[in-house]
Amino acid sequence: MITSEQVRAARGLLRWDQSDLSDASGLSLPTVKRLEQLPGPLAAQARTVDAIVAAFSSAGVIFVEENGEGAGVRLKKKPPAIGEINEKIQALDEKIATIKVDGDPSPEIGMNRLKKALVQNERTKLKNRRAKIKKGEPK
């Protein structure tokens, strides 16, 4: 579980403002502001926390769990290379292919459609990041 303090620290390392995190995670700006406002563990659903962690992870942030010295964040030694992003995109393509969304309407099919949409969204973000890296843009 990550904390609001870790989120603010991660943004600081990347020199992101709250709107940058909102854009990178696909969350609304009011959601980001609300989550950062409350001290301690993020008071959010798992998919919201996952979106934040994924956004920071793709930007090179590592969350350090409580280890007796306190939780924290740090940057990877180098940002992900295009090859690494391509591998992640390929893994997401494979995951998309395994999600069953056809059949009679049911709660399972509905959840699978949602899962597939979330994975496709993450894939699109990675493709956009790859395009920015190729152009030489930051983030």
Q: What is the pLDDT of residue 50?
A: 94
Q: pLDDT over 70 for what percent of the chain?
A: 95
Interval 87-106: pLDDT, tens = 999 999 999 999 999 989 89
CA distance 20 to 51: 13
Hunting for tokens 């391509």 — which residue is that? 86
CA distance 30 to 39: 16
Q: What is the pTM of this model?
A: 0.56
Q: Classify the C-alpha dihedral 109-115-116-118 as positive or negative.
A: positive
pLDDT surpasses 70 at 11: yes
Interval 15-37: pLDDT, tens = 999 999 999 999 999 999 999 99
CA distances from 92 to 31, 42, 61 (A): 26, 26, 20
